[in-house]
Chain A
Amino acid sequence: DVKVTQSSRYLVKRTGEKVFLECVQDMDHENMFWYRQDPGLGLRLIYFSYDVKMKEKGDIPEGYSVSREKKERFSLILESASTNQTSMYLCASQGGSSGNTIYFGEGSWLTVV
């Protein structure tokens, strides 16, 4: 089975702090994604990556950056966290034998106070 692991399930950070959310997949997938989920808004794509060291902006990249130094790992970075970034963050991966199916991690709940 495909496994997408997000390192932190629950985080509480202060406004202005730098936040790292880590995601690792074990299926050698080329594509990885970061979404945020908010009530009534569904999932919105922040950034995605098609390959190591490559990144593309999604629909709401403002306030975020990403890093893909290794194929299995895709990190989401909040340079200076703000309260409007309080949300559930979901990582996903796709590729290889899974074709167009996208598999999700369990999610990271971030609260910025």
Chain B
Amino acid sequence: GEDVEQSLFLSVREGDSSVINCTYTDSSSTYLYWYKQEPGAGLQLLTYIFSNMDMKQDQRLTVLLNKKDKHLSLRIADTQTGDSAIYFCAEYGTGTASKLTFGTGTRLQVTL
């Protein structure tokens, strides 16, 4: 079945860039997503990328996709304390039942 992996924790200083990485196994993935979850809240869609794209930029967020290696990354420029949250990578496959498969989430801690 599909599998999505992320590291569990990342700590960065305020003002630095954060890079959160994700690998996936489903070669039929059509969309790849990044969601943000703040404490006690649901998931907020941050951005997504089509599988035929290499890069997408949206203000402070840059998504890079290496389809050959099945590797996705999210770069947050000028990281702020408000960026502290759990970030989930998810892939949307077109197998027998199209659905989102999530990674375990990466907890981003921003220090002063």
How many chain B residues touch A (CB < 8 A): the figure is: 25
Q: Which chain B residues border A104 with CB–CB below 8 Å?
A: 35, 42-44
Contact B105 A42 (CB under 8 A): yes
Interface size grouping (class) on chain A: 20 to 34
Q: How far is the CB of A73 from chain B (nearest CB, A)?
A: 17
Is A107 a contact of B42 with CB atoms below 8 Å?
Answer: yes
- Contact at B103–A42, with CB atoms within 8 Å? yes
Residue of B nearest to A41 (CB): B104
What DSSP secondary structure best describes chain B's contact surface? strand
Q: A56-B97, A100-B30, A100-B31 are in contact. Are A43 and B102 (CB under 8 A)?
A: yes
A101 and B102 alpha carbons, distance in the complex (Å) = 14
Q: Which one of A33, A40, A56, A107 contacts B41 once the chains associate, using CB atoms below 8 Å?
A: A107
Residues of chain A lying within 8 A (CB to CB) of residue B104:
40-42
- B8 proximal to A (CB < 8 A): yes
A55 to chain B, nearest CB (A): 11
Contact string, B30-47, partner A, CB cutoff 8 A, digits 1/0?
110101000011111100
In the complex, the answer to whether B99 meets A58 with C-beta atoms within 8 Å is: yes
- CB closest residue in chain B, given A109: B40
- Contacts known (A43-B102, A56-B97, A100-B31); A90 close to B43, Cβ less than 8 A: yes
- When chains A and B are docked, how far (Å) is the Cα of A39 from the Cα of B109? 16
Known: A104-B43, A107-B42. 4 other contacts (CB 8 A): A44-B102, A56-B97, A59-B1, A92-B100
Spell out A's residues near B (CB within 8 Å). Answer: 4, 33, 35, 40-45, 48, 56, 58-59, 90, 92, 100-107
Using a CB–CB cutoff of 8 Å, the interface residues on chain B facing chain A are: 1, 4, 8, 30-31, 33, 35, 40-45, 48, 88, 90, 92, 97, 99-105
23 A–B contact pairs at CB < 8 A? A40-B104, A42-B103, A42-B104, A42-B105, A43-B90, A45-B100, A45-B101, A56-B97, A58-B99, A90-B42, A92-B43, A92-B100, A100-B30, A100-B31, A100-B92, A101-B33, A101-B45, A102-B45, A104-B42, A104-B43, A104-B44, A105-B42, A107-B41
